[in-house]
Amino acid sequence: MRKFLILITFIFVNGFLWAQPGISKKIERNGKFYYEHHVQKGNTLWGLHKMYNVSIEEIIRDNPGVENGVKEGQIVYIPVKDKGQTQINKVKTTYYTVQKKETLYGLSKKFNTTIDELIRLNPELEKEGLKKGQKILVPVIEAVDHHQIKDEEVRDDENIANPFVTEEEERIDEEEKEIKIVFEDSIVRHQVLPHETLYSISKRFMVSIPELMKVNNLKTTKIHTGQILIIPIKKEKTQVAVRPVPDIEEEDFTEEYVFEEKDHYKIAVLLPFYLNTKECKGIKKIYRNIALDFYSGMELAAQELMGKGLNATIRFFDTKGDSATISKLLRDKFFDDVDLIIGPINKKGISRVAEFCFENKVRCVSPVRINMDLLESNPFVYASITPKVVLAENLAKALTKETGGRLILIKPKSKDQKGLVLYEAFLKAYKDNAENVSPVLIETNSKDFNVHISRNQMNRIVYLTEDKYDVSSFINQMNRSAFRANPGKIEIYGMKKWISGNYVNYSYLDKYHFHFPTSMYMDYADEEVIKFHHKLRDLFKIDLSKEVAHGHDVLNYFANVFFIKDGEKPFLLINDFKMEKVSEQGGYQNTKTFVIQMQDLKLVPKGNNED
């Protein structure tokens, strides 16, 4: 009889400073060094040429077929110029105190560098920007021989005639003709997403930050969600006398990768336990408690997996909540042939792990909500929590199935950018899926919504904001308008944060039949949940929390789907995963949406909650 084993161990390391890699990973191919560039949405051949300062002809020479344009998810090998690489490695830096009204663009000119280089030296600038009195690293300006630099830049060894090459060797084969590509100027109107910065947009479309600031008349590098930016790009227009090139076998991103079945699997879990940390207070203590709850749930999931015959080593790594530690952990031998990585729970860390998984074709599951750009061109990432935009879309689809009455959709205030994104997602999904005019959709604002309430019809009021002041004001105004309404004819649809953030009194939410969409729901009265709770108390002396339940579900579900594959639905406490691809070349996101309603101060699912 086959011997099954699950080995769970802890490993932790001390954090250390980790220098972020340059533009892309540097590799060796056929005796030459290249940057391995993974094409993202918005990348172009012209952009690669500008980003790496390598001629288009050189890129095409080493990547036959790209003259037809680059594709999202494709790997393009960019030749490394030794001179340039040496200069980058020898950059000296010093600290500089930011003065009043100084900008990144101005500092880049002042220190003869680029905005990208300043952000590379000071990663916090990408999100936080510059502040007066802030100390940042800048390149040291040194005296140089400008004549020597000019001579080096003019020289191009590849274009100098070689006297030792015979005329016969110089003859070009009739089938191989010179490659010429004509580019046309084009403009893209891009709406800024919640997670985007000017820096990330510049990388995506391969347009420099100064150029973006110039064409959009921006005074600073700060942008906001929903803002429309003009992106000037170069598009491949025509091709002249292109030589025949062999067909390239491209990886098929349209279907889930087929992974090799093994007798033994290795699963790594990255969580911030803060082991050997002298002080663990504030936010660190919160994260440590979450990590311990995740671990407790996973321990019980591992026992269930062992009972089903999984032969695996599950090792827990302490990230200390630090991306530098995560980078070091990924160099551990355990990751040489790891099959699945779960975690971490910080945004920078999951980004680094996603990059590692793409390069090494390893599945990665995020146990927390992540930026969706990580999924766009990475088929190895699985987001376990339904994005809020998808929750809004699924709520809209659910409400199209209601009959009669009025649907009153409140538009959040202009300052509430996140709320506006959810509002637009809901509105589009509702219009796309509504097959009839019932219920009637009324678009309004938080000041005038009450005039649309009918005493004789069902009123479903949707206000997808998480701003606590706006929520409180909305409920107060609802109470002031009570004489106009019949509480039995009112349903309010908001966000889960209304109850988790204690924005308003529960009795008011109960009075107006509060509903919200969510990715998770757990019935504490369910017999199986009660049994699990008893096991948890016996083993860890703790009570069942949503973090314990989610940790259990993530390991139990994905290990079953990836490794056991017996077709049986695994036991889940709080989730009902519905994983869908975000694009042909992208990863997977959970789209499961529970619509929860408040009844007699209790939270219960509405209907059958089928998506």
Let me know whether 502 and 531 are in one domain: no
Mean pLDDT of the chain: 79
Cα 210 from Cα 208, distance rounded (Å) = 6
* Residue at token pair 């599945």: 363
pLDDT digits 0-9 by tens, 447-470: 899 889 888 889 999 999 999 999
Residue 118: pLDDT band with limits 50, 70, 90: confident
Picking from 518, 538, 558, the residue at the C-terminal end of a domain is 518
> Is position 206 within any domain?
no
3-state per-residue secondary structure call for 518-557: ECCCCCCCCHHHHHHHHHHHHHHCCCCCHHHHHHHHHHHH
Let me know whether 264 and 380 are in one domain: yes
Let me know whether 381 and 313 are in one domain: yes
Among 87-91, 360-364, 597-601, the least confident range: 87-91
Query: Phi-psi bin for 404: left (phi > 0), alpha (psi -120 to 50), beta?
Result: left
- Count of the separate structural domains present in the chain: 3
> Is position 58 within any domain?
no
Contacts 24+ apart (CB under 8 A), 50-56: 50/206, 50/208, 51/23, 51/206, 52/23, 52/78, 53/81, 53/84, 54/78, 54/79, 54/81, 56/181
Q: Which two tokens stand for residue 320?
A: 């200390």
Give residue 325's identity as a one-letter amino acid code: T
- Closest by CA position to 123, among listed 358, 331, 348, 356: 348
Q: Which two tokens stand for residue 55?
A: 């001629």
* Residue at token pair 């879309």: 393
- Closest by CA position to 270, among listed 371, 369, 367, 384: 367
Cα 294 from Cα 272, distance rounded (Å) = 10
Q: Which two tokens stand for residue 566?
A: 């017996």
Does position 250 have pLDDT exceeding 60, yes or no? no
- Write phi, then psi, for 99 (nearest 5 degrees): -95, 170
Let me know whether 403 and 502 are in one domain: yes
Let me know whether 505 and 407 are in one domain: yes
Percentage of residues in the chain having pLDDT higher than 90: 37
> Is position 70 within any domain?
no
Picking from 141, 166, 181, the residue at the C-terminal end of a domain is 141
Between strands 93-97 and 594-599, the pairing is unpaired
Greater confidence (56 vs 338) lies with 338
> Is position 77 within any domain?
no
pLDDT digits 0-9 by tens, 379-431: 999 999 999 999 999 999 999 988 888 999 999 998 898 999 999 999 999 98
Let me know whether 356 and 302 are in one domain: yes
Report the chain's terminal Cα–Cα distance, integer Å: 42
DSSP 20: P
| Extended strands (E) in 90-223 | 93-97, 135-139, 180-191
The SS3 call for residue 363 is strand
> Is position 204 within any domain?
no
Does position 179 have pLDDT exceeding 60, yes or no? no
> Is position 177 within any domain?
no
User: Any idea what the CATH number is for the domain that residue 367 is in?
Assistant: 3.40.50.2300
Greater confidence (535 vs 90) lies with 535
Does position 204 have pLDDT exceeding 60, yes or no? yes
| Cα distances (Å, whole numbers) of residue 376 to 72, 249, 380, 423, 580 | 9, 22, 11, 22, 12
Let me know whether 399 and 464 are in one domain: yes
> Is position 290 within any domain?
yes
Let me know whether 483 and 538 are in one domain: no
Let me know whether 514 and 531 are in one domain: no
> Is position 116 within any domain?
yes
Mean predicted confidence (pLDDT) in 186-211: 75
* Residue at token pair 């699985």: 382
Classify residue 391 by burial, with Cβ atoms within 10 Å: 0-12, 13-18, 19+: buried
Residue 166: pLDDT band with limits 50, 70, 90: very low
Let me know whether 536 and 499 are in one domain: no
Considering Cα of 593, then 594, then 598, then 601, what sign does the dihedral take?
A: negative
Picking from 485, 518, 551, the residue at the C-terminal end of a domain is 518
- Closest by CA position to 351, among listed 29, 46, 126: 126
Let me know whether 335 and 380 are in one domain: yes
Domain coverage including residue 359: 258-385+525-591
Does position 253 have pLDDT exceeding 50, yes or no? no
- Closest by CA position to 410, among listed 464, 344, 453: 464
- Closest by CA position to 326, among listed 303, 345, 304: 345
DSSP 131: -
- Write phi, then psi, for 33 (nearest 5 degrees): -95, 140
Let me know whether 530 and 575 are in one domain: yes
User: Any idea what the CATH number is for the domain that residue 128 is in?
Assistant: 3.10.350.10
User: Any idea what the CATH number is for the domain that residue 464 is in?
Assistant: 3.40.50
Classify residue 79 by burial, with Cβ atoms within 10 Å: 0-12, 13-18, 19+: middle
